[in-house]
Amino acid sequence: QSVLTQPPSASGTPGQRVTISCSGSSSNIGRNTVNWYQHLPGTAPKLLIYGNDQRPPGVPDRFSGSKSGTAASLAISGLQSEDEAEYYCATWDDSPNVFHVFGTGTKVTV
Binding site for other proteins (CB under 8 A): 2, 32-33, 35, 37, 39, 43-47, 50-51, 56, 88, 90, 92, 97-105
CB of 15 or CB of 27, closer to other proteins: 27
Q: For CA atoms 49, 54, 58, 64, give the dihedral sign.
A: positive
Tabulate helix, strand, coil % of the chain (nearest 5): 5, 45, 50
CB of 13 or CB of 43, closer to other proteins: 43
CB of 75 or CB of 101, closer to other proteins: 101
Kindly report the backbone phi and psi dihedral angles of residue 92, in degrees, each rounded to the nearest multiple of 5, phi listed first.
Answer: -105, 150
Please measure the distance between the N-terminal and C-terminal CA atoms of the chain and give it in whole angstroms. Answer: 27
Minimum separation from the CB atom of position 14 to other proteins (A)? 27
Minimum separation from the CB atom of position 26 to other proteins (A)? 16
